[in-house]
Amino acid sequence: MNTIKVTRTSASKINSIDFENLGFGSVFSDHMLVCDYTNGSWGTPEIVPFQPISLMPSAKIFHYGQSIFEGMKAYKDADKKTWLFRPDENFKRLNISAKRLSIPELPEAVFMEGLKALLRVDEQWIPTQDGSSLYIRPIMFATGEGFHASPANAYKFIICTAPSGAYFAGKVKVLIEQNYSRSANGGVGFAKAGGNYAGQFYPTQLAIDKGYHQVIWTDDNTHEYIEEAGAMNIFVRINDTLITGPTSDRILDGITRKSILDIAKDEGIKVEVRKFTVTEIVEASKNGSLKEMFGAGTAAVISPIATFGFKDIDYHLPELENPIGLHLKKRITDIQTNKAEDLFGWRVSL
């Protein structure tokens, strides 16, 4: 790959940002990485000031939704050194999503070297406060034009970043979905396709209107198997066993999910990767064996669920002194921020 050209902003916004009160993904760093696919190949990425992009209304992204993304983070350790967490997994998954959406796969160097070059330019934007990080959002979408329903002939890959604060979800109340589906057999549920989210917003709003925060997705066929928690993978703990569903066409292969499984196995926590049903967790809740339920994903790492609703009844999870979920969150964030030994070789320095 040729050297990445860098055009720096002449008007950095960094001094206008309140790093003590960052939300999630709402302020954006000074620069972005852009790479174009034209004439059958990906070009050399460039770093430019964060700015609007111009597209024709005939660009296929607007018509046929060829659009995918990734989500990852960069962390500062106590010595202000920058680390990434399993970025190779994000790269692999981006291309898994690309293939399913008929988007040309991206060369590894564009992703890895492009990402590192961007982080070096915007290194000041990586927050140092405890629990905060730089959220990284790679996106890839069709810029090629035409109303013909077929894959575009031009695409854009962009990485933009957002300094984000510590994420406290509070007492999350979820509704087990019995009508709508996030994904189907043979569909695109395993891909990080923008459209998967578009389809979730309406059922999620219906759940919010009923007083819940999020939907728990069940299988599209019977609505009996628990599959994902909003845009996170889901875990339950029954007695001392941690259970999560197997990845499939319908369940996204989350990096947080697989990191939890590896850490739990290393600690001798009993884990089962198997299908589990709504009936099973309702029964477990009634007989007191359901101890924990949590979502797992890059943004929150682990998001404990306090209550789940099913068929007009709310089931409450017990308030525990030492939940395994929070312990696993600490294990992961300690590795991410270089506070603990990296047994698995997950941490990558900038």
Ligand X SMILES: *Cc1c(COP(=O)(O)O)cnc(C)c1O
Residues engaged in binding ligand X (CB under 6 A): 71, 192, 228, 231-233, 252, 254-257, 297-298
What's the closest the beta carbon of residue 142 comes to ligand X, in angstroms?
A: 20
Looking up tokens 């047994």 gives: 343
**CB closer to ligand X, 252 vs 278:** 252
CA angle 180, 250, 261 (to 5 degrees): 120
Find the shortest distance in angstroms from Cβ 294 to ligand X.
12
Q: How far is the CB of 215 from ligand X (least distance, A)?
A: 12
Task: Considering the complex, state which of residue 59 and residue 252 has its C-beta at the smaller distance from ligand X.
Answer: 252
For residues 304 and 326, the answer to whether their CB atoms sit within 8 Å is yes
Based on CB atoms, which residue is closest to ligand X, 19 or 167? Answer: 167
Q: Which is nearer to ligand X, 177 or 228 (CB)?
A: 228
Query: Helix 324-336 vs helix 255-266: angle between axes, to the nearest 10 degrees?
Result: 110
The β-bridge relationship of strands 226-229 and 214-218 is antiparallel
Q: By C-beta, is 29 or 97 nearer to ligand X?
A: 97
Name the minimum Å distance from CB 43 to ligand X: 27
Measured from the CB of residue 262, what is the shortest distance to ligand X in angstroms?
13
One-letter amino acid for residue 91 of the chain: F
- How many Å apart are CA 203 and CA 201, to the nearest integer? 6
Q: How does DSSP assign 124-186, residue by residue?
A: GGS--STT-EEEEEEEEEE--B-SSSS--S-EEEEEEEEEE------SEEEEE-SS--S--TT
Q: Give the nearest distance from C-beta 182 to ligand X in angstroms.
A: 7
Return the number of the residue (297 or 309) whose C-beta is nearest ligand X. Answer: 297
Q: How far is the CB of 138 from ligand X (least distance, A)?
A: 12
Reduced to 3 states (helix: H, G, I; strand: E, B; else coil), residue 321 is coil
Q: Copy the structure tokens of residue 22.
A: 């960052």
What's the token pair of residue 21?
């009160």
Smallest distance, Å, CB 70 to ligand X? 8
Strand partners for 175: 215, 309
Helix axes 108-121, 87-100, angle to 10 degrees: 130
* CB 302, min distance to ligand X, A: 10
Whether 302 contacts 296, CB under 8 Å = yes
Q: Which residues contact 36 (CB under 8 A, 6 or more apart)?
A: 42, 43, 143, 154, 155, 156, 157
